[in-house]
Every structure is written in C-alpha cells, then in structure tokens.
C-alpha cells in the first residue's frame, strides 16, 4: 500500500497552515533564496520560520513548517496556468457561457423554427399546390372541356356548333397534355362563349329613336368611288332589354362589344328603311332578323351584306 493511500488526509487547519507557510516564504524571497540555496540548512530555515510565527503570536508545529518548505520546493499550492489547447479553449468557452449562451440559444431556436417552417410547412404546401395544379391541368380542365362539349352537343340545332366544339376540345386537350395551362383555360373560355352564343335569343331591330340615326352611308378607304350603306341595329332580348354583343368592325378588323352597330345592307334596303321612317317618323318594318336558341347566327328577314361597323 502506498503512502498516499495509507496516510490519512491532513486536517483542514494543518493544510491552511502549510499554505500560509508557503505564502510567507514567497513574500520573503530574500529569506528563501538565502536559506534554501543550501539544502543542509533546512533546519535553520525552520527555526527562522518558527521565530517569525512566534513573533506573530502563532505557534506552528515543526512538521507543518517542514511541509511548507517542501511544498515550496515542489511548487505545491502554486497556480500554474493550463497550456493552450482545445480542452482549455472549451473550458474557457464553458466558463463564459453566460455571455454567449442566451444569444446562441435564441439563434439556434430561430434556425430551428425556420427549418421546421421551411421543411415542415412551406415545402409540403408548395408540393401540395403543385400537385393540385397538375391534377387540375391533366384531369380537371379536360373534364370541363368534355362537359362543355356535351352541353353544346345536346343544345345545338346546327352541326356547325358541334364541329367547332370538337376542334376546340382537341386543341384544348393538346394544350393540357403539353402543360400549357394558359392555352387550356383559353379553350374553356371559347367553349363557354360558344355555348352562351347558342343559348342567346334576341330580335335584331332597326333603331328608331330621335337621338340615334337609323342609317348612314360611307366611302370605304380602299375604294372611294364605292358607297357602303348601313342601317343602325340593336339586339332586343326576350325580356325587352337591349343586349351587348361582340361585333367585328370590318373597317379595322377589331371586335368590340357594343349595344348598337351599323349593319351593311344593299342600297335598296337602306332606301326602303329611310322611306319608311320619313313616312310618319316610325319604322314599321323594323325587324332585321331573329337569333333563336340552339342556333349560332341570326336568321335575317331582309337582305343584308354581312359587314358591320362599330363606329361612325
């Protein structure tokens, strides 16, 4: 058994006395240097230390004085700074944790919230949105096209509407297969317009009001020697209200939605309408044509040349 394990621990007061002896020796460097240079004079140094403590009224046992001298020689009770290294750096970092711990924890918590929000909420939401858009484009929009086609097929009374609807559906589904959402949605709009056109019902009449001209004539720019004659018409719905319709202006090629437009007619029709109005101020034969449910075009009851203008 070693001395370290066999010898009982020294009482606290003896340890404190030994530390005080070492401290005294450090503060009396002249004494330490002079006396410790000769190892044989250790006894004399102990006597001097005893005298010093005696003068202070402190009685220190010889074994404590001897232990203090040995401790000084062995550098016991002396703080030696740890050598630089990873362990020392980590220890100092741990000791200073109060200064950096809270900001770091807040930063880590913020990063954790961002990561959870990004990977746990935002990305799943984006993926779900993309999947819904994909399903709508590949299944939803084509299903709407088929439904509109079936409605047009059931309600039309002319084959021309079915032919137009079939062409639109084929084109729209091609857009959907290519991932062209804008093209597919535009096709649905056109199919909806075709369906609504079939359902329209109105009577096309010559306008007979004091504030609106019932007819006019113009010289076409491409042929100034010719004269185009127009009667001003409006569409009257089943409830008696005026409808606004998309009309192609033959002079500029633009389509405008208007409630009044000029319909080009032969000169004989223009003159007949003018004579009818001049007779008593009222146009008795004011019906130009009728648009019935299930048909695309107006069925005219007087001769027309087909062109129209929206401005005059």
The pLDDT tens digits for 188-218 are 999 999 999 999 999 999 999 888 999 999 9
Are 227 and 218 in contact by the 8 Å Cβ rule? The answer is yes
Residue 83 lies in a domain: no
Collapsing DSSP states into helix, strand and coil, what is residue 228? strand
Greatest mean pLDDT among 54-63, 215-224, 229-238, 274-283 lies in 229-238
Collapsing DSSP states into helix, strand and coil, what is residue 266? coil
pLDDT tens-digit readout, 113-130: 988 888 888 888 888 888
- Number of structural domains in the chain: 3
Residues 132 and 183 in one domain: yes
Phi and psi at residue 232, in whole multiples of 5°? -85, 125
Residue 46 lies in a domain: yes
Greatest mean pLDDT among 57-66, 77-86, 104-113, 246-255 lies in 246-255
pLDDT, the chain, mean = 84
Residue that finishes a domain, picked among 73, 94, 120: 73
Domain hosting 146: range is: 105-199
pLDDT tens-digit readout, 136-167: 888 999 999 999 999 999 999 999 999 999 99
151 closest CA partner among 294, 28, 273 = 294
Phi and psi at residue 289, in whole multiples of 5°? 180, 175
Residue that finishes a domain, picked among 199, 224, 244: 199
Residue 87 lies in a domain: no
pLDDT, residue 4, reads 43
Q: Is the pLDDT of residue 1 over 50?
A: no
Residues 214 and 185 in one domain: no
Distance CA 144, CA 149 (A): 9
| Parallel/antiparallel/unpaired status of strands 245-248 and 255-258 | antiparallel
Burial code (b: 16+ CB inside 10 Å, e: under 16) for 28-56 equals: eeeebeebeeeeeebeebbebbbebbeee
Residues 136 and 188 in one domain: yes
């Amino acid at each position: 058994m070693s001395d370290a394990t066999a010898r009982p621990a020294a009482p606290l007061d003896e340890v404190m006395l030994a530390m005080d002896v070492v401290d005294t020796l450090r503060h009396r460097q002249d004494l330490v240097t002079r006396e410790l240079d000769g190892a044989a004079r250790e006894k004399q140094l102990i006597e001097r230390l005893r005298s010093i403590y005696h003068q202070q009224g402190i009685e220190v046992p010889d074994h404590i004085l001897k232990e203090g001298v040995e401790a000084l020689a062995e550098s016991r009770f002396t703080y030696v700074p740890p050598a630089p290294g990873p362990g020392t750096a980590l220890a100092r970092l741990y000791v200073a944790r109060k200064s950096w711990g809270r900001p770091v924890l807040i930063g880590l918590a913020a990063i954790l919230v961002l990561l959870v929000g990004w990977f746990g909420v935002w990305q799943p939401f984006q993926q779900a949105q993309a999947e819904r858009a994909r399903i709508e484009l590949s299944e939803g929009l084509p299903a709407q096209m088929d439904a509109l086609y079936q409605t047009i097929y059931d309600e039309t009374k002319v084959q021309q509407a079915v032919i137009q609807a079939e062409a639109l559906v084929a084109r729209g589904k091609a857009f959907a297969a290519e991932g062209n959402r804008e093209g597919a949605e535009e096709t649905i709009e056109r199919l909806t317009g075709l369906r609504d056109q079939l359902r329209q019902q109105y009577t096309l009449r010559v306008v007979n009001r004091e504030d609106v001209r019932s007819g006019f004539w113009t010289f076409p720019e491409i042929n100034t020697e010719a004269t185009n004659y127009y009667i001003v018409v409006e569409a009257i719905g089943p409830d008696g209200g005026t409808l606004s319709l998309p009309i192609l202006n033959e002079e500029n090629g633009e389509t405008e939605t208007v409630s009044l437009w000029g319909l080009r007619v032969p000169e004989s029709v223009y003159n007949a309408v003018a004579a009818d109005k001049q007779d008593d101020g009222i146009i008795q034969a004011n019906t130009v044509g009728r648009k019935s449910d299930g048909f695309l075009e107006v069925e005219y009851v007087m001769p027309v040349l087909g062109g129209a203008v929206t401005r005059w």
